[in-house]
Amino acid sequence: MRCPVWLVVGAAVLAAVAGALARQRLTGGALQRLQQLRRLRRLREQRQRRLEADHETSVEPDVLELEAGAEVPVALSNVAALVAPATPTPSAGRPVAPAPGVSALSPATQPPQLPTAPTLGSASRSNLTYLVQRLEHSTERPSVSSTPEPGVEGQLRVSGGRGPFEGNVEIFHDGRWGYICDDEWDMAEAEIACQQLGYQTAQKPTHDGFYGHPEGEISFWMDNMYCLGNERRLSQCRFDGWAQHDCAPSELAGVSCRGQLEDAKATKAPALTTAEPAVPKTSLWHTTKGRLKARLRGGRVPSEGRLELKIGDDDWGLVCGDGWSLLTANVACRTLGLGYAAAALQTGFFGGNGSTKVMSGLECIGNESVLINCRHDEQLFCPGDPQTNIATVVCQPEMADLVPDHEAMMQSAYLEDRQLFYLQCAMEENCLAASAYRIRKENADWHVMPRRLLRFTTKVANRGSAAFRPLLPKEAWEWHACHMHYHSMEVFSTYEVIDDSGRRVAEGHKASFCLEDSSCSAGVEPGFSCANFGDQGISVGCADSYAHNIDCQWLDVTDIDPGRYRLRVVINGEYKVGEQSWENNAVTCDFNYQTTVGTVTNCHLGRP
């Protein structure tokens, strides 16, 4: 049966009309999308112009008077709201207690919340350092490290010292200068830095912004550096990656060099043939003749504030913040009868910005009973911003005390040969020796090449009077996609093998991806669990165990010859989280390495 002509014609007309409508809708949608894109572009351009205008116009923040003659920006007072828990939230069946020694502000006196400030319902005193330093650098000021001075990729320079032979180390990358974090920064890295700067050797590496802190925002380029010693430039060493770090603004790595090389081409090379000696130190007892008084001022409570000293009949004065660490702050709290140091800060937050500094380079081993047994610079030398380079401390009566189990190390140690194919996640976290990375780069069959690993269990107990918490708050933990977990402390423990001459022949580290109460004493309930992104820490009377079969719970000994060595494991060795004492944070053992067998014996506790 044939279709009528009028039906065929009608269908064609309807199809044409439908196509036209579809094209109209499509064209209208495309035009609408184009208009949206143009509108977004205009908004971005307007925002950029506003940012540039704000950058050129500096606005002084409101100030809050802490005491007579001492003023600090109101923005910094938000740290009180951050560390004071507002509404406790129960977690895992246990109440969240307020941070010890911190009083919450009432609604009438609570300062306004910064839009860029981290908001934490509960924060431990262990991460107070992180919070204060983050707030201090939250203002949009131009960064000293990003000044557009000319440089060559990978070039080094130093700043803050008495000359080009010493200072905080900066490196040029991607068109701007940036600093290096002091995590795992030691003599091996300092030697490479000094040689690149044009000197024969390093006098010492420095930490905690020993040569002062620049004004404005601080940019870090490098973190967790590891140099073998044969590199010609610092950028050839292993590190976490450009701008990949978890460092607070105070963690500036520095160096003091000696013996200039004649053919070196360093940044602004000096005309001197030798570097000046380090600033000589002397004992406080010798300087003060036994007449020394100490006090804290400017704090919200009597157990915190800036440290002031009175020598003889002289006026009270400040202590320079350069090199100020938890070791020295612990002795200061002990001297004042205030317990232990929860945070050692270099800040003007507690006022005193216009006061005179009477001492620099205050340095304690950590086991002194009073400050007068410590040392300081013979000549006052305090570089950096004078308004913020002030030694301050937060004390509290109770503190954690970590003790590693040396018996567990001896009982669990063994050698394992494992192919690189199964160690790829560990390689991402820099847990293997440098030769493994060269093999992966140069050998097409790298995945079947074996590595020899010295495995052992690390069990750490908290025998103090307060829980041990990570330095960083939960919002700042770093996610590692390969292992599918967060790191609450980038370096919780370090491992090294040392030969008879004291030379380190192998080293490694373990990040704290899970600090929890693995086992507890009788009658003690576990308080920390890593499951479901839970709170991390170690309760009093409990222990955290990193079993020997966990990734990076080893030392790569592939490149060392059989012989007798010393194995050394250090817990919390960067002194980032306060403890009662560091006299028991290191385990040293005899390591007898044979061709196919390795034994660990005669372990004992000591200080890092």
pLDDT tens digits, one per residue of 500-510: 998 889 887 76
- CATH number for the domain including 153? 3.10.250.10
| 255 and 169 both lie in a single domain | yes
| 431 and 545 both lie in a single domain | yes
| 454 and 597 both lie in a single domain | yes
Residues 564 and 600: their CA atoms lie apart, in Å, by 10
| 374 and 460 both lie in a single domain | no
| 585 and 468 both lie in a single domain | yes
Asked if residue 326 belongs to a domain, the reply is: yes
User: For residue range 317-334, what is the model confidence (pLDDT) as tens digits?
Assistant: 999 988 788 999 999 999
Task: Kindly tell me the burial class for residue 526, based on how many C-beta atoms sit within 10 Å of its own C-beta (0-12, 13-18, 19 or more).
Answer: middle
| 336 and 202 both lie in a single domain | no
Span of 140-144, 199-203, 370-374 with lowest mean pLDDT: 140-144
| 350 and 314 both lie in a single domain | yes
User: For residue range 41-57, what is the model confidence (pLDDT) as tens digits?
Assistant: 555 555 555 445 444 43
Number of separate domains in the chain: 3
Mapped onto helix, strand or coil, the DSSP state of residue 479 is strand
Q: Do 430 and 502 contact (CB within 8 A), yes or no?
A: no
Q: Which structure tokens are listed for 317? A: 């004065």
- The single-letter DSSP state of residue 252 is B
| 337 and 441 both lie in a single domain | no
| 443 and 540 both lie in a single domain | yes
| 219 and 240 both lie in a single domain | yes
Q: pLDDT at residue 432 above 60? A: yes
Asked if residue 276 belongs to a domain, the reply is: no
- Mean of the pLDDT values across residues 524-543? 90
Q: Do 220 and 180 contact (CB within 8 A), yes or no?
A: yes
Chosen domain end from 344, 379, 396: 396
Q: Which residue range forms the structural domain that includes residue 157?
A: 144-260
R_g of the chain computed on alpha carbons: 29
Asked if residue 374 belongs to a domain, the reply is: yes
Q: pTM higher than 0.75, yes or no?
A: no
User: For residue range 369-397, what is the model confidence (pLDDT) as tens digits?
Assistant: 999 999 999 988 887 778 888 999 999 99
Residue with the bigger pLDDT between 37 and 320: it is 320
Minimal CA–CA distance to 212: which of 391, 371, 72? 391
User: For residue range 566-584, what is the model confidence (pLDDT) as tens digits?
Assistant: 999 999 988 889 999 999 9
Q: pLDDT at residue 166 above 70? A: yes
Asked if residue 208 belongs to a domain, the reply is: yes
312: region left, alpha or beta (phi > 0 left; psi from -120 to 50 alpha):
left
Residues 545 and 91: their CA atoms lie apart, in Å, by 22
